[in-house]
Chain A
């Protein structure tokens, strides 16, 4: 064999160790130095640079190049900014019937967009634009809280079931079975029906809508997290952690859970979109906030239906706003799913 026997060559050092060139003159040494320099030059740039790029960071850099993600992010950012700074952006008070004497719904007299009221007036002579802006705030609140409720309860149930199923042995499987049967029952109910039931139980209010929509999302999150945890639990690195002697609860929390959260986080952006639509639907059905001083897109849509033939614009604005916002969250969620998908990672 030509190479040095049993030479242990770490992979990190591509340049051969300078062997003792005892016999050679300076020419030989110079030649050797030249060839090593040349090799280093040809291989040069590859070893520097990237320093500890985690999965989230690489996913983020992929997100930045996706047109879908950028569109979604712009819509979502716009929506959030409007919602946060709503009182500053709204030119008028949303409840003030300042122009009440200009609108007569029973005579089909409405006021469309004009210089002082950008989106016109609603049926009670309130500024539609101000109501839309303030409504964004309510909608964001409903979406976020509902998603948080769904995420929190769902992740707790699903996480417990998933951890019990993967690491709990016989008892764990029983716990998992019990939790999942409950989840299955929840899943069997149509989302909207479930929400209507909750709303009917505790009466119409904003809290009702948020709770109802949130609870409807629980089984989705629970199933998703449990499935991800079980598939991660079968991976070799979990076995490796067990072989290392890591405690089970620590394996579940530091190994399985962080690796299973990807799909759940993607789902939560998608859920935000459906939560907004569901909340609008519930408000439309009259289960939302009965207090007119807090305009909400769903309620506005519901109110506008009475004047659909004479003033369709009153329905179009909130409907468009709901659609565009939901689209923004969906685009962002889909782009995140793609960025985090291991199959698309090289």
Chain B
């Protein structure tokens, strides 16, 4: 059974207007019907451009934003139906690493207090009940404190920082070190799932690799499960076992990482992939590039039918602008795609039209 299953999740933010009384004049369809499941010990990568709802999805799993409808099932329990207090307790099993390493650390807390907070909140650490029975109150408190210290130092060392960091403040560290602290904060609770929201996009390239390697190592050692959310397809593909591509609030394609790269089926995935720069002039000069026309439509007023049809170079006369495609399995092996014409695109029966794209650069030989 999968560790986390998301079923038809919807998060709609009301748009309110009004001088005295707030009137709801519409909704931003940030996440609009996403279903996916994450297996224990694997990494699920969610990729998409800004405004596609990937961050909202990650926050909805932790109920940091209000869920409009749908289910988030973790170990047989639907998180969406828990009370606030039950959800608060559940958060020790589901943790999050944030994009901005400095912004996500309280500037007035030192590292020790930042890492301790989760343990205190959830009452983790301390002697077992039998041991505690024979202790006085003071001894017990000392034992709890010592155990929590040990856990905090352990987590810090796992992320490659020394216990000396405990008394320092966030602004005294470099970006990469801060992100390590953010990871340690999540790690110290020993969660089942860590949601990494753009874990490396605020970091320099050389530091990015350090953090990505660290995440991988921790997964190997502790058997962690990750939901990695990022805009960078190369990063997501590098760390993930399964990749889901989001566009305007819904999942357009999902496949095992290698398969997605080998045979991207959805037109959006294809264009996205062709837009990612590769640090190799030979590849850059020879590959085919499909430049999409225009911008992302507003999520407050999404297009009818397939959300991508307004920019799709493969768009057909039938279905695309009227019926919203379901995410459906294709070819077996866990490849799912939400496109009416996926088979015909794969078979090469439909070609991208030059008029609908801003430009198509055909791969020049040599």
Q: Is A93 an interface residue (CB 8 A)?
A: no
User: Do A50 and B185 touch (CB < 8 A)?
Assistant: no
Q: Does B162 contact A (CB under 8 A)?
A: yes
Most buried by B among A6, A11, A51, A55: A11
Contact of B106 among A51, A245, A259 (CB under 8 A): A259
Residues from chain A with a CB closer than 8 A to the CB of B99 are 236
What is the CA–CA distance of A9 and B209 in the complex, to the nearest angstrom? 10
A10 touches B213 (CB 8 A): no
Please, which residues of chain A bring their CB within 8 A of the CB of B174? Answer: 11
Q: Check A8 against B213 for contact (C-beta < 8 Å).
A: yes
Q: Closest Cβ of chain B: how far from A204's Cβ, in Å?
A: 40
CB contacts (< 8 Å) of A109 on chain B: these are none
A-B contact count (CB 8 A): 92
B161 located at the interface, meaning its Cβ lies under 8 Å from any Cβ of chain A in the complex: yes
Question: How far does the alpha carbon of A243 sit from the alpha carbon of B195 in the complex, in Å?
Answer: 10
Let me know if B168 and A244 touch, CB within 8 A: no
The answer to the question of A43 belonging to the interface, with a C-beta cut-off of 8 Å to chain B, is no
Q: Which residues of B contact A236 (CB under 8 A)?
A: 98-100, 103-104
Q: Is the CB of A51 within 8 A of B105?
A: no
Asked whether A52 lies within 8 Å of B213 as measured between CB atoms, the reply is: no
Residues of chain B lying within 8 A (CB to CB) of residue A258: 108
What string of 1s and 0s marks CB contacts (under 8 Å) between A241-254 and chain B?
11111110010000
Chain A residues within an 8 Å CB radius of B91: 243-245
List which B88-114 residues lie within 8 A (CB) of chain A. 88-92, 95-96, 98-100, 103-108, 110
Q: How far apart are A313's CB and chain B's nearest CB, in angstroms?
A: 50
Complex Cα distance A53/B167, Å? 9
Contact of B169 among A12, A54, A246 (CB under 8 A): A54
Type the 1/0 row for B107-132, where 1 means its CB is closer than 8 Å to any CB of A.
Answer: 11010000001100110000000000
A 44-58 binary contact with B (CB < 8 Å = 1; else 0): 000000111111000
Q: Given A243-B62, A243-B95, verify A55-B108 contact (CB < 8 Å).
A: yes
Q: Within the assembled complex, what's the spacing in Å between the Cα atoms of A236 and B161?
A: 22
Complex Cα spacing A147 to B106, Å: 29
Contact at B106–A241, with CB atoms within 8 Å?
yes
What residues of chain A have their CB less than 8 Å away from a CB belonging to chain B? 6, 8-12, 50-55, 235-237, 239-247, 250, 255, 258-259
> Taking beta carbons and an 8 Å cutoff, which residues of B are in contact with A?
59, 62, 64, 88-92, 95-96, 98-100, 103-108, 110, 117-118, 121-122, 160-162, 167-169, 171-172, 174, 176-177, 180, 182, 185, 189, 207, 210, 213-214, 217
Q: List 30 A-B contacts (CB under 8 A).
A: A8-B217, A9-B160, A9-B210, A10-B160, A10-B161, A11-B180, A11-B207, A12-B177, A50-B172, A53-B169, A235-B103, A236-B99, A240-B98, A240-B105, A240-B185, A242-B64, A243-B62, A243-B64, A243-B95, A244-B91, A244-B118, A245-B88, A245-B92, A245-B118, A245-B121, A246-B121, A247-B88, A247-B121, A258-B108, A259-B107
Closest 6 pairs (CB-CB, A-B): A10-B160, A245-B91, A236-B104, A236-B103, A52-B167, A243-B96
